[in-house]
Chains A and B, each alone.
Chain A
């Protein structure tokens, strides 16, 4: 019992001491050590302190080194804990989100719009909203980094309070003003709006002449929708469509039909579907002929067109790949092969009836008459994590969901149109906020890749350093201690290895193993070993020199005379005496290995894409377009790599200075 409490006391003591020391270090770091020193009693007998303790103290007295240490620890945490928090799908690509500049405003509805929403519409990285007092707002990644076109620069026709309808495509916006003018802006090279200038491309359909020059009766507009690079406008049942036929394969066929009585047209990434006022639908090109669909009743509808023949469709909507249909009895149908669970329609509780259906790029949101919203589909950004949230209206951007409620309490209704004059107040938004460090050329988040790449770079560097240090310690100790022919042989081997030019040789080895069919993990492991095996020579020479000096000292003679085995003397008696030198060198080598790994990966001979490292993230950054326009793709990985290596070098240098008795004497 007594012993136990004694033990506890001891442990407590240790904690108290560790805590005190840590506190002192932090305090000294920020407030300086002078106060501490002044308080000391100068007549006190000076305590004898071990050299290592002195060295640690000296280290923490240097502010730059302490800052570097903190930065390095933070970076370690960042790259080794970060991957747990931000998981990454390595093979993820998203052409819609390629080369986005750092942006965090993708779901920040402008303040002025929040209380008075009429419509919100988005196809890719920017979203347009029209307020009930006819003002237009655009938010998100509005500026194209390559062309510099900014969607937030409205053309002169758009003035305050004159926008009736607006819709957004991949790279264009179409708006209808209150006086009936149709205005487009953004990219027009593929006939997204205005006259078709590129007549050589047969797929392009220009905007109808009467829409470019004339005005329309705004009160008769039935709907305005935009697809990837196409637009459909329905005025009094008459359909107008224009844009890039490659983005909507049945554009020409649909136009040929000259439909009347149209309510709305909706676009997926490939096709257009027409909804008529009588509740029937049409899709030219035979796309729906044998298609099946999933129903919200939990069944699969095998022949979709004949199933719809007896039903009335009230609303249609589309993601990239799927079409969603809302029938008059509240049933929801999702057609087409889904890639992101778009067909897993959640069960709507009994008694609730879906009254509105909207969709983003990869998800659907349904609103029931009980005022509850349900979302399903792609949920990586949290845009579909809504299941029964109360609201009065739902809107969807590309990867965002916006829920709104009515200002007055008149219950749920279908979305406000230009005429009915009800504004909604934003209640909540879900989904993608943006990318703090932008995206790369495959639409992947740079921040996530920096975190995962850092983990890879650090791991490769660390393993390489450990491998090289182990080899160096063994060879250095043996050759230094034994001397004679062992020394001669080992030093010649060292010289051979040091004569190998590092970068070309590592590239060649990497090239050779590339020709073998081995798993990616194995390849990376081999690269670690290669880096280690090629970089041990310097350290081995240094250790040899140190051992040569140490073995002449008395304690070695003593050990020898006591009959300690030779190998034990070398590794157990001499090695601990030179361990500080080895540690410094390992720290500096670690920085070196980070650099060589990233150089190798940068050239494409290290870790391969899509697995990120800080080196291969910069692969392809040496052309002027990336350097100038997509600066975030090279700047952020470079900064992280630079900070890591600089802080390691500072720490290594400081430790060396601190351990070197000469340097402190001179000061």
Chain B
């Protein structure tokens, strides 16, 4: 098992490097030159005292933008030294590995600082959404599989095909219309009531939950369609196995047959799905955060793209890729635990 995990780890690392190179190359296609901007601002402010070329070179070195694209890439990763600006000095490392994600142009703060608060919100939102979605879809999927072909199953099937055919934003708009505008139960958007700064932390928490209700409902609803169908399909597959027939022939109670025998077998594809889904909602919540104006990383990413805050874009893109690869790794490992055949093969 340990060897298997190591192998996967190594492989994921290679993929991460390749992807980061790709992202960095794409990032370099943007027609921005930080050093030139900085140098220009300095020279025009100095009333002709400074030499533009000299300053440009200085800022290039400062930002680690001199040299060819691979040197720059490696510097950005943090495995290649910056060119020293003074003679006799040794250059320093300052990249992703050192925890430097660059500086946000919009906030004038290091990106890692900017992202703390949104990250908290997004993780909070996603964990809640996962719990809700799993709590509903798994029992519903099992129910549909057991009562296959019944009227209730057909109704759920029709409902889920509608659910997974509709894009998130349409569901969100309909839900806002229904719950926020017509029924007036929840706020339309935002994360806190205006003037809630002076409230106690307990009040603030409930206020936040109140604002997150509608986004959570929408996220849960959008996941219902695909997940229920998936759980149902794998459960049907499991129920048609020979071992189930044997279990029934032995005279086991139906509950035991379903939850102990069939469910175990259905679990393997579901585990993949659940982890994959949990990670995909990080990028999926991008939409929800924008619709409901929640201060999450999706919203931050969107705002950064709108405002040409390239460092944040780069950092978050790397984060999304990291999450996705980590998810793949976790799926592989969990697979190894759940399904012994995988370990033996590799």
What residues make up the interface of A, taking CB atoms closer than 8 Å to B?
Answer: 492, 495-496, 499-505, 507-509, 511-512, 515-516, 591, 595, 598-599, 602-605, 615, 618, 621-624, 627-628, 631, 634, 638, 641-642, 645-646, 648-650, 653
Stretch at the interface among B63-71, B91-99, B171-179: B171-179
The reply to whether A509 and B26 form a contact with Cβ atoms under 8 Å apart is yes
Write out the residue numbers on chain A whose beta carbons fall within 8 Å of the beta carbon of B26.
508-509, 512
The reply to whether A627 and B173 form a contact with Cβ atoms under 8 Å apart is yes
- A170→B97 CA distance, assembly (Å): 64
Q: A501-B320, A627-B181 are in contact. Are A605 and B305 (CB under 8 A)?
A: yes
**A–B Cβ pairs within 8 angstroms, 28 of them:** A492-B15, A496-B15, A496-B19, A499-B15, A499-B321, A499-B324, A501-B320, A508-B23, A508-B305, A511-B313, A512-B26, A512-B29, A512-B30, A516-B31, A599-B167, A599-B287, A602-B167, A603-B302, A622-B176, A624-B176, A624-B181, A624-B188, A627-B180, A641-B166, A642-B170, A646-B165, A646-B166, A648-B165
Of B15, B181, B284, B306, the contact of A503 (CB 8 Å cutoff):
B284
The reply to whether A622 and B173 form a contact with Cβ atoms under 8 Å apart is yes
Write out the residue numbers on chain A whose beta carbons fall within 8 Å of the beta carbon of B291.
622
Write out the residue numbers on chain A whose beta carbons fall within 8 Å of the beta carbon of B313.
508, 511
B244: Cβ under 8 A from any A Cβ: no
Write out the residue numbers on chain B whose beta carbons fall within 8 Å of the beta carbon of A624.
176, 180-181, 188
Write out the residue numbers on chain A whose beta carbons fall within 8 Å of the beta carbon of B337.
none
Q: A508-B313, A649-B165 are in contact. Are A628 and B177 (CB under 8 A)?
A: yes
B316: Cβ under 8 A from any A Cβ: yes
The reply to whether A503 and B286 form a contact with Cβ atoms under 8 Å apart is yes
Chain B's closest residue to A507 (CB) is: B305
- A508→B314 CA distance, assembly (Å): 9
Q: A499-B19, A515-B30, A618-B169 are in contact. Are A504 and B317 (CB under 8 A)?
A: yes
Extra inter-chain contacts (15) besides given A512-B29, A603-B287, CB under 8 Å: A492-B11, A500-B321, A501-B320, A501-B321, A504-B317, A598-B167, A599-B168, A599-B287, A622-B172, A622-B173, A622-B291, A624-B181, A641-B166, A645-B166, A649-B164
Write out the residue numbers on chain B whose beta carbons fall within 8 Å of the beta carbon of A515.
30-31
Q: Please classify the interface of chain A as helix (H, G, I), strand (E, B), loop, or mixed, using the class held by over half of its residues.
A: helix
B189: Cβ under 8 A from any A Cβ: yes
The reply to whether B290 and A642 form a contact with Cβ atoms under 8 Å apart is no
Write out the residue numbers on chain A whose beta carbons fall within 8 Å of the beta carbon of B164.
649
- Closest Cβ–Cβ distance, residue B42 to chain A (whole Å): 24
The reply to whether A501 and B173 form a contact with Cβ atoms under 8 Å apart is no
Write out the residue numbers on chain B whose beta carbons fall within 8 Å of the beta carbon of A653.
161
Write out the residue numbers on chain A whose beta carbons fall within 8 Å of the beta carbon of B317.
504-505, 508
The reply to whether A646 and B162 form a contact with Cβ atoms under 8 Å apart is yes
Write out the residue numbers on chain A whose beta carbons fall within 8 Å of the beta carbon of B283.
501-504
B74: Cβ under 8 A from any A Cβ: no
- A634→B180 CA distance, assembly (Å): 16
Write out the residue numbers on chain B whose beta carbons fall within 8 Å of the beta carbon of A499.
15, 19, 321, 324-325, 328
- A598→B171 CA distance, assembly (Å): 13
Write out the residue numbers on chain B whose beta carbons fall within 8 Å of the beta carbon of A492.
11, 15
The reply to whether B169 and A622 form a contact with Cβ atoms under 8 Å apart is yes
Q: Which of A499, A615, A618 has the most CB of B within 10 A?
A: A499
- A18→B42 CA distance, assembly (Å): 78
Q: Which of A504, A604, A624 has the most CB of B within 10 A?
A: A504
Q: Which of A508, A621, A622, A653 has the most CB of B within 10 A?
A: A508
B18: Cβ under 8 A from any A Cβ: yes
